[in-house]
Amino acid sequence: NAGVMQNPRHLVRRRGQEARLRCSPMKGHSHVYWYRQLPEEGLKFMVYLQKENIIDESGMPKERFSAEFPKEGPSILRIQQVVRGDSAAYFCASSPPLQGNTEAFFGQGTRLTVV
Partner 1 sequence: AQSVTQLDSQVPVFEEAPVELRCNYSSSVSVYLFWYVQYPNQGLQLLLKYLSGSTLVKGINGFEAEFNKSQTSFHLRKPSVHISDTAEYFCAVSEGSASKIIFGSGTRLSIRP
Contact 12, 101 (CB under 8 A): no
Q: How far is CA 47 from the centre of its chain?
A: 8
Options 15-23, 39-47, 60-68, 74-82: segment touching partner 1 (CB under 8 A): 39-47
**Number of residues written out for the chain:** 115
Options 14-22, 61-69, 80-88, 99-107: segment touching partner 1 (CB under 8 A): 99-107
Options 22-30, 42-50, 61-69, 78-86: segment touching partner 1 (CB under 8 A): 42-50
Number of residues lying near partner 1 (CB under 8 A): 25
CA–CA distance, 103 with 58 (Å, rounded to integer): 20
Interacting residue with partner 1 among 1, 14, 39, 42 (CB under 8 A) = 42
Contact 62, 79 (CB under 8 A): no
The residue among 67, 89, 69, 86 whose CA lies nearest residue 77 is 67
Q: Which residues bind partner 1 (CB under 8 A)?
A: 4, 33, 35, 41-45, 48, 55-56, 58-59, 91, 93, 100-109
